[in-house]
Structure 1
Amino acid sequence: MSIVHPKFRAAAVQAAPVFLDLDATVDKTEALIAEAARGGAELVAFPETWIPGYPWFVWLDAPAWSMQFIQRYHDNSLVYGSPQAERIAKAARDNGIMVVLGHSEKQGGSLYMGQWIIDADGRTIAMRRKLKPTHVERTVFGEGDGSDLSVFDTRLGRVGALCCWEHLQPLSKYAMYAQNEQVHIAAWPSFSLYRGGAYALGHEVNNAASRIYAVEGSCFVLAPCNTVSKEMVELMCTDDTKRALLQAGGGFARIYAPDGQLMHEPLPEDVEGLVYADIDLGMISLAKAAADPAGHYSRPDVTRLLLDKTPGDRVVSKRRAAAEVTRDWEEAASAPAMRADIVALIGQDDEAA
């Protein structure tokens, strides 16, 4: 019996968030999810740090100047399990659509550049973090770990995600290719910064990175992209120098096929909306027949990648078995001098017990 490959419509967001406003951006997120579903999409992808917006202020002046925005940015970042997060999961479930959300993830006192993959039933498939924030992003965000370079089985195929210049990290890309990724979400901020002065930050280079990812990985690439609103420029650009650095617009959302073709008509860069493409995973076989970089087109005898997926937990709690604790206390009873060492080893709670 022949294999039936999934076919579905996908959408990528090109829009501006309601900058530094968590609740209002969740409202807009719900509306875009519903719009994508009405357009026939079974998957919708959002840009990098869509909630509460990309922190452009860190690129505009010294860190001391940007601190005026930091508390507000923290307060409006998304916390998993919060009422706002539950609203987004409910929107995915109510509309029967998979959602890949880019957001600033707040955990405790730290922020991370997160991507949350939610299935059409509103259940979490994955919560990943950008492995290495880029340049001045490191003044705001912490880092991910090896577990964040993962691809996941879903009813729409094997889905993975990366943020922005993770697509310029050859080893990270190869780690994803090697997991037989079929649908990739490449989340980008807008391409509005340093126009004419930093070509590497422009849409030509970065859309090329998404396109090359599609060809190298023989996969479909959804590349959602923020826009910068006039309100964001007015808030952050307080002098002529800053107004020259950050401009409104900058939206270049794209969807690419495994052979690199652009699958839709682009939106103008200052227009908000969704771009759609009809995905047929059967196309991947044709692309990989020519070149599968993690399969028949590789030379593992010459070059290989070591991928450590160990989670980077900051605190690892270890609880000792009751029998082991009892044995140590019995030894302490016969040798009182050992007692202080044992207390230090197993903790004051066990001493009280």
Structure 2
Amino acid sequence: MGIKHPSYKAAVVQAAPVWMDLEGTVAKTIGFIEEAAKEGAKLIAFPETWVPGYPWHIWMGSPAWGIGKGYVQRYFDNSLHYDSDLARQISKAARDNKITVVLGLSERDGGSLYIAQWFIGPDGETIAKRRKLRPTHVERTVFGEGDGSDLAVHDLSELGRLGGLCCWEHLQPLTKYAMYAQNEQVHIGAWPSFSMYEPFAHALGWETNNAVSKVYAVEGSCYVLAPCAVISQEMVDEMCDTHDKRDLVHAGGGHAMIFGPDGTPLTQKLPEAEEGLLYATIDLGAIGVAKNAADPAGHYSRPDVLRLLFNNKPAKRVEYFSLPLDTAEPVPAAE
């Protein structure tokens, strides 16, 4: 008799946040958590920096323009601190609905911001907090960076071995291999939106980045949940204070997807400006079949030829220490 492998329903979010409105976006987050749970989902994944929305203004003008428009202060003030009542509301929603949540957020820690993913269990307890290893391009004007401890996969029993990356972390071959080597089974690939700088920046478009998610699934022989945000018309109207800026962005850009461990699309896409949840069944038994063909960190690897050097230790900014007190009797000086 064959072994029964865990199987469950997962959801990904395609929607626009209540941009730069922390309370509004947290309320919308809880609404999606409740909706997914009612549909029987055991896991829900949110886009990159879903709370309080991706800082699209950094692609629209100079840092001085962003400061003058008040975006820098607003974005900082509306980013989420883990030790806050609003964060506790999200944890409570996960617990009340008995669902695992992977939330994309702008994390506020002291005077710095980080592109983060927060893994919350169905008991409302934190499974893990991670930060994007290296913010991309102009993101470095806003966010700090993570370290090797953020490249981790978590064994969640019935949900499988769960990990996550943000946006163009999926274009870093060594970063991906660090995840594959931990036998990741379900991957949350969080994306912002794909409606900026079209059509002259193909690398930022949906075709390229949906393909990146698909390839991750095939390379890692894992499921890929790829939530994706939407840019609302209200966001466009607020950011585009000149005609030339309206040539840089349009409303929409939502291209959420779910891929199986052989790269098969497991759901139909929503129209790019439409909000909603996409669902798929995660059957962990399918991973063994996919890895039988190509296990990138197992039988299909050649460690005698190529190996990854991976420092997975947290990078502490400050190391605290103290010198031992000298309690011994003083030694008399020689005459």
TM-score bin (small chain): over 0.9
Q: Distance in 1 between matches of 2:221 and 2:318?
A: 38
Out of 151, 167, 170, the position equivalent to 2:170 is 167
Paired position in structure 2 for 1:94: 96
TM-score (norm 1): 0.91
Alignment of 1:1-353 (within 5 A): 3-67=3-67, 68-155=70-157, 156-320=159-323, 324-325=324-325, 328-330=326-328
Kindly state the Cα deviation for residue 315 of structure 1 after the two structures are TM-superposed. Answer: 1.1
TM-score (norm 2): 0.96
For each residue in 1:51-104, what CA deviation from the matched residue of structure 2 results, as whole angstroms up to 9, or x when unmatched? 010000000111111123011101000101210110000000000100000000
Kindly state the Cα deviation for residue 234 of structure 1 after the two structures are TM-superposed. Answer: 1.2
Kindly state the Cα deviation for residue 239 of structure 1 after the two structures are TM-superposed. Answer: 0.9
CA distance change for structure 1 residues 26 and 335 in 2, over 3 Å: closer, same or farther? Answer: farther
Secondary structure of the corresponding residue to residue 30 of structure 1: helix
Kindly state the Cα deviation for residue 4 of structure 1 after the two structures are TM-superposed. Answer: 3.1
Paired position in structure 2 for 1:342: none
Q: Which amino acid aligns with 1:98?
A: T
Kindly state the Cα deviation for residue 318 of structure 1 after the two structures are TM-superposed. Answer: 2.0
Q: Distance in 2 between matches of 1:172 and 1:165?
A: 10
Q: Distance in 2 between matches of 1:312 and 1:4?
A: 41
Secondary structure of the corresponding residue to residue 270 of structure 2: coil
Q: Is there any run of 5+ residues in structure 2 with no aligned partner, and where?
A: none
Q: Distance in 1 between matches of 2:234 and 2:282?
A: 35
Kindly state the Cα deviation for residue 3 of structure 1 after the two structures are TM-superposed. Answer: 4.1
Q: Distance in 1 between matches of 2:170 and 2:244?
A: 30
Q: Is there any run of 5+ residues in structure 1 with no aligned partner, and where?
A: 337-353
Q: Which amino acid aligns with 2:117?
A: Q
For each residue in 1:145-189, what CA deviation from the matched residue of structure 2 results, as whole angstroms up to 9, or x when unmatched? 000000001031100000000000000000000000000000000
For each residue in 1:172-218, what CA deviation from the matched residue of structure 2 results, as whole angstroms up to 9, or x when unmatched? 00000000000000000010100111000000000000000000000
Q: Which amino acid aligns with 1:6?
A: P
Q: Which amino acid aligns with 2:10?
A: A
Larger Rg: 1
Q: Which amino acid aligns with 1:136?
A: V
Q: Which amino acid aligns with 1:179?
A: Q
Q: Distance in 1 between matches of 2:185 and 2:5?
A: 11
CA distance change for structure 1 residues 41 and 335 in 2, over 3 Å: closer, same or farther? Answer: farther
Secondary structure of the corresponding residue to residue 245 of structure 1: coil
Paired position in structure 2 for 1:350: none
Instruction: Name the structure where helix makes up a greater proportion of residues.
Output: 1
Q: Distance in 1 between matches of 2:314 and 2:80?
A: 21
Count of aligned pairs = 330
For each residue in 1:305-351, what CA deviation from the matched residue of structure 2 results, as whole angstroms up to 9, or x when unmatched? 0110110111121245xxx31xx2546x5589xxxxxxxxxxxxxxx
Runs of 4+ in 1 over 6 A off after TM superposition: none
Q: Which amino acid aligns with 2:98?
A: G
For each residue in 1:134-155, what CA deviation from the matched residue of structure 2 results, as whole angstroms up to 9, or x when unmatched? 0000000000000000000103
CA distance change for structure 1 residues 71 and 334 in 2, over 3 Å: closer, same or farther? Answer: farther
Q: Distance in 2 between matches of 1:70 and 1:4?
A: 51
Q: Which amino acid aligns with 1:255?
A: I
